[in-house]
Structure formats: C-alpha cells, structure tokens
Amino acid sequence: PRSFSAAELVRAAPAALQPYLRLMRLHQPAGTWLLYLPCTWSIGLAAAPGCLPDWRMLSLFGVGAVLMRGAGCTINDMWDRDYDRQVARTASRPLAAGDISTFQSLVFLGGQLSLALCVLLCLNYYSIILGAASLSLVITYPLMKRITYWPQLVLGLTFNWGALLGWSAIKGSCEWSVCLPLYFAGVMWTLVYDTIYAHQDKRDDIMIGVKSTALQFKEDTKQWLSGFSLAMLLSLCMAGVNCNQTFPYYSAVAAVGAHLAHQIYTLDIDKPEDCWKKFASNRTVGILLFIGIVFGNL
C-alpha cells in the first residue's frame, strides 16, 4: 500500500519541483512541527477562559511555519553549500548537489518570504512589527556555527518567536509575564533537541571547523540537557501560574518532564540514528503541552 508520509509526497511530485520541495525540507516535517508548536502553546494560552484556541489563527500560523521553516532552510543551505558538500548527511541537499543554482534558490527564497509576508499582514500591527523583527535572527542564525559553539542558542531564539507572536496575534500585544517564561522555556527546549541533533554530525563538524553545543559539551552532554530540561519545566510552571492555568496544564508539564527524562536517559550520543530518533520525538513533547493547555483552559 502507498504511504502518505511527507517524504512519499515529495517523491510523487513532478521531478522539476522536487529539488525545491527538498530545499524547504518538506520531506522532513519534524522541523516544521518544532517551529509551529510554540505558536500553538501561545495561541492556546491566550484563548479566553472556557474557550478552545482560535482555529483560524492556528491554521494561519501553520501555513506561516511551513513557509518560514522553508525560507530558513533555504537561507541556511545558501550559506552552507560548501560545508554541506563535505558532510555525508548533507551532501545530497539540492544546492550542495548542484540540483539547483544559487540564483534559483534566491528567487525561490523571495517567493517564500513574500507568501510569509502575506500571512503576517493578516495579523494586527503589533504582531506585524514583532514578526518582521525575527527576520534578522533567521538570516544570521546559519552564520553562528562558524563563530560560536552556541549556535543552538541562536536557533532557540529564532525558532520560538511564535511563543511571543501567537499571544500578540490574539491579544494585540504581549503579556510579558506569560510570554517571556514561555519563550524562555522554548529556547531551553531547542537547546535540548538541537544539541541531540548536532551529535549526528560531530565527526564531520570537527574536520570542517563547524561549531556546536554537541562539540562544546562532549561527554557532559546529558548533564547539560538535564539542566536545560529543568529550566524549561520551571519556566512552563511560571508561565502557567501567571496566566492562571489549571491541573491539566501542570499534568502536561509533568508528562513533558517524563518524556525529556526518558529521551536523555536512553540517548546514545555516538549513534546518529538514535540522535535522529530522539530529535524527531520532540514533536510529541510539544503536542503533549498543547493538549494540556487546551484542557487546562476549558
């Protein structure tokens, strides 16, 4: 039977389109989920008591997440095409493999950003300015791995912008006592999953001079991940207290803690396939929290 996985759908697309779909990573939706889920938390927390989250806003942010993750990956691959050729896992990426030119990818980037702007313009003025402000992070993040051993922190600041934007899209501005702890929790979460992700490439990264938290933490990785996870859970509790969340929310925070503990305890940082599996399982973490927020608000 034919499966309907994202990878299958990309393979079924016309051959001329496939490099573009792979450039925006449509065949690997894990990253899109990780960008989208902090938006859903924020939209859920901003819903009026007794109400479900605004499904139109959830849909709009879903489209925005696909486009902005695609744009981010395109920018990343344009910066990194020479590095990507030297790493086994990334050598087949469309730009590194020469399937499309830098100019074609630039035009494609312009198209994605134009569509993402259309999504942003559906929001209120405060959110339009706030959303546009994230673009500087999107553009500079790919350069960070050449400069610092903490590019994962910059990715966290970039990838969790939706934790601010979702709230302001509903309420008209940010309630910082809720939005900042939620954003900080998201940043800590990214440090967990992207450090795990970076362990896949550490041997290649050492050879080509690319930096990451995986290379910074080395054998102490699990202690660091445990610290980030604890900081995430405390921040989620703070956000919950500041917007009067109820038992289902804190149950979900506990479930998130259990999931992260299991991930970290069973992680084998020297097995790339295990690192990928643990990284991708973080979608469940985000969904658990969203479900807790929805039920905690009813």
Residue 130 above 60 pLDDT?
yes
Residue 161 in any domain: the answer is yes
Residue 169 above 90 pLDDT?
yes
Residue 261 in any domain: the answer is yes
Residue 3 above 70 pLDDT?
no
Residue 55 in any domain: the answer is yes
Q: Which helix (H) or strand (E) holds 247?
A: helix 247-266
Residue recorded with tokens 């610290």: 227
Q: What is the mean pLDDT of residues 150-169?
A: 98
The residue segments making up the domain with residue 65 are 6-297
Residue 205 in any domain: the answer is yes
Residues with Cβ within 8 Å of residue 133, at least 6 apart in sequence: none
Residue 77 above 90 pLDDT?
yes
Residue-wise pLDDT for 217-269, tens only, equals 999 999 999 999 999 999 999 999 999 999 999 999 999 999 999 999 999 99
Residue 284 in any domain: the answer is yes
Residue 202 in any domain: the answer is yes
The predicted pLDDT at position 5 comes to 87
Residue 126 above 70 pLDDT?
yes
* Structural domain total, the chain: 1
Residue 1 in any domain: the answer is no
Q: Which segment of 3-7, 43-47, 191-195 scores lowest on mean pLDDT?
A: 3-7
Q: How confident is the model at residue 89 (pLDDT cuts 50, 70, 90)?
A: confident
Cα distance between residue 231 and residue 254, in whole Å: 13
Which amino acid, one-letter code, is at 243? C
Residue 182 in any domain: the answer is yes
* Mean pLDDT for the chain overall: 96
8 A C-beta contact, residue 229 and residue 264: yes
Residue 1 above 60 pLDDT?
no
Residue recorded with tokens 């933490």: 217
Residue 295 above 70 pLDDT?
yes
Cα distance between residue 182 and residue 127, in whole Å: 17
Domain with 130 in it: what CATH number?
1.10.357.140
